[in-house]
Amino acid sequence: MTIWAVLPVKEMVGAKERLSPLLSPEERVALMRVMVGEVLAALSAARGLAGIAVVTLDPWATAAAQAAGARVITAGAREGHTGSVTTAARLLEAEGASGILTMPGDIPAVTAAEVEALLTGHGAAPAFSIAPSHDEGGSNGVLLSPAAAVPLRFGEDSFFPHLAAARAKGITPRVVQLPGAAMDIDHPEDLERFAALPLAQGTRTLGWLREAGVLDRLAARGRR
């Protein structure tokens, strides 16, 4: 199989507004850059991918993708998470890809081993594998073959709708629990969960949170 990874990265100005009670706009951009870099590194180190496509118009993300040897796709980059992934999937399928694996850019504890765990055991097409977020609301890893096997619809409550969409296409979804990939960062509480996650130890994201004083702010917030 020729499975391509698709990493959507929207323009980072104004990123992660739900973290605004704790982080400044500049800090939110800095955090997003560190997180995207970690996801890109995990995908780059994973075995079994035919290539990586970063869907973006963000200058920093474009440069990071090129430095990692990833392909940059601009089509659909302003069509939201679902639109950008769907556009890339159609493009890659037209070029001969047998499927896609897509992950968001805000799961900095994901590892190459977790990416490979999704790829390993993925059945013959048509097939659908999914890794949920820690609260089983979001879809933090979606692998499908062919690339348009199941209609995608990302969001905070996408996991169970994705399972239903696969079954509606006659596909039994394969659910893979991945603790690193499950930990997406959207809210201040997510930063606390991330900091306590064993897989987060040693990540550049946790180091940045320490150096920027964010962990101290979280501790002070908890004492109020």
79-127 pLDDT tens trace: 999 999 999 999 999 999 999 999 999 999 999 999 999 999 999 999 9
Domain ranges of the chain: 3-217
**Using CA atoms, how far apart are residues 55 and 72, in angstroms rounded to an integer?**
6
Nearest to 171 by CA among 130, 136, 217: 130
Q: What is the pTM of this model?
A: 0.96
Beta bridge partners of 143: 101, 129
What's residue 167's pLDDT?
98
Residue type (1 letter), 28: R
Q: Each residue of 140-160: pLDDT tens digit? A: 999 999 999 999 999 889 999
Residue 213 pLDDT class (50, 70, 90 cuts): very high
CATH code for 3-217? 3.90.550.10
Q: How far is CA 206 from CA 31, 45, 201, in A?
A: 10, 20, 7
Q: Each residue of 53-83: pLDDT tens digit? A: 999 999 999 999 999 999 999 999 999 999 9
Q: How far is CA 154 from CA 47, 106, 131, 142, 160, in A?
A: 26, 14, 13, 10, 11
The fraction of the chain above a pLDDT of 70, given in percent, is 99
Are 106 and 32 in contact by the 8 Å Cβ rule? The answer is: yes
Contacts of 189 (CB under 8 A, 6+ apart): none
What's residue 221's pLDDT?
79
Beta strand ranges found along 82-212 (DSSP E): 99-102, 127-132, 139-145, 174-175
